[in-house]
Structure 1
Amino acid sequence: MTAPERTQFTNPLPKPNRFVTTNNSEGQSVYSKRLPGPVEFWPVGPENEPAGFGLGYTTSSVPVRLTNDQDLTEMTSNYNKRKQSGLVKKGGSVVRYVDYPPKASSPMHRTVSCDYAIVLIGEMECLLDSGEKRLLKPGDILVQRGTMHQWVNYTESWARMLYILLDASLVVDGQAITEKLGDMRGVSASI
């Protein structure tokens, strides 16, 4: 028997807005109305300290197919499946918000991706499996390149991170490295 899906959790941080531009039939730059504006968050992780995931945008390929709004069509489909999409979009990119409650952490995990991780609100520590760690403050960026890592919010306040994840390949000492999610509850394998 599976536990019921959680749809509500207490998160005091404001929802960010998403604005997407496109070109109209006259070639003018306009704002698209195809996606909802506010980024919706959903809970992941343990019941007692769920983090909040929010999907900003995804692309299914590089280069991105903008002609006839193909990327918007793909994003609409991806958005409808956002809770089952995994962390990385194979062959593409993901923009994801993650809100961390006070005193919470992710499990030690690895994505086969190159991630640009930016602290927007609060402070976060990134711990590597070697024991090395760095403290990130608002505006700081960490470039995560297929490594085992863990995010920790040691503070008494909520923190918000923005991640831009780019699909990658990684071979170390002749061995292909694969995704390891640890005990990341509520997160599917990347597709």
Structure 2
Amino acid sequence: MNHATRRVVTGHDDSGKAIIESDGPAPNVKVREGAGFVSTLLWVTDETPANVDLRIDRADRTIAVAPPPSGTILRIVDFPPVTSEVDRMDGSALRQAMGVDHAGSAGAPSRHAYMHRTKSVDYGIVLSGEIDMLLDDSEVHLKAGDIVIQQATNHAWVNRSSDFCRIAFILIDANDPLAKKG
């Protein structure tokens, strides 16, 4: 599968005229070791409202899965088919590499090595392929064109098909619904 994603970034010149700042393959592409996910980071904001006149590549950085406080992330993830070895692996190293925690209900063990949770509202748009989203005790099958609005829930993306699944994710920082109140 060709993982290259064209990214066009607009901005303004010194006179205020709208311009193309960059146009080409998104340069920040990483493979998640152990899982084989290909993650293309397209843009990050560190504040709301977003500062849109920085004239820098805001994706030229290393960042965990979750967005920064008061920020957002736009990324494309290509999920390869899951192998039987991955189904049996311990997910703690993978979650550590992703910079996320497992937060199952009442400390329950993960039902899959990919289970994780971020403190964010995630808009997931399935661009191609199909995939299963596992929750603590349920799951849903998704296909190209389906959209998920995920609200800081514990989940795993498991591709049980024979082809890659490509999903665009927009993550927005959110309050943690499981944080201790008081």
TM-score category, normalised to shorter length: 0.7 to 0.9
Q: Deviations over 1:153-176 (max 9, x none)?
A: 01000111111000111234x626
Partner of residue 128, structure 1: 135
Give the Cα–Cα distance (whole angstroms) in 2 for the partners of residues 109 and 64 of structure 1: 27
Give the Cα–Cα distance (whole angstroms) in 2 for the partners of residues 133 and 155 of structure 1: 15
Give the Cα–Cα distance (whole angstroms) in 2 for the partners of residues 92 and 74 of structure 1: 15
* 1:24-173 aligned within 5 A: 24-33=13-22, 37-40=24-27, 41-46=29-34, 49-66=35-52, 69-70=53-54, 72-73=55-56, 75=58, 78-79=59-60, 81-82=61-62, 85-88=63-66, 89-103=68-82, 107-129=114-136, 131-172=137-178
Unmatched tracts of structure 2, length 5 or more: 87-112
Q: Deviations over 1:70-119 (max 9, x none)?
A: 2x4371xx51x32xx10122220000111111225761000000000111
Q: Deviations over 1:39-80 (max 9, x none)?
A: 24221031xx411111011111010112xx22x4371xx51x
Moved segments of 4+, more than 4 Å: none
Q: Which TM-score applies when normalising by structure 1?
A: 0.72
Partner of residue 21, structure 1: 10
Q: CA RMSD in A?
A: 2.0
Give the Cα–Cα distance (whole angstroms) in 2 for the partners of residues 13 and 121 of structure 1: 13
Alignment partner of 1:175: what SS? coil
Q: Deviations over 1:9-54 (max 9, x none)?
A: xxx1341100011122232211013xx72124221031xx411111
Q: Deviations over 1:126-163 (max 9, x none)?
A: 1101x211111111110110110010101000111111
| 8 A contact 1:94–1:166 mirrored in 2 | yes
Alignment partner of 1:124: what SS? strand
Give the Cα–Cα distance (whole angstroms) in 2 for the partners of residues 141 and 135 of structure 1: 11
Identity of aligned residues (%): 31
Give the Cα–Cα distance (whole angstroms) in 1 for the partners of residues 57 and 11 of structure 2: 14
Give the Cα–Cα distance (whole angstroms) in 2 for the partners of residues 74 and 169 of structure 1: 27
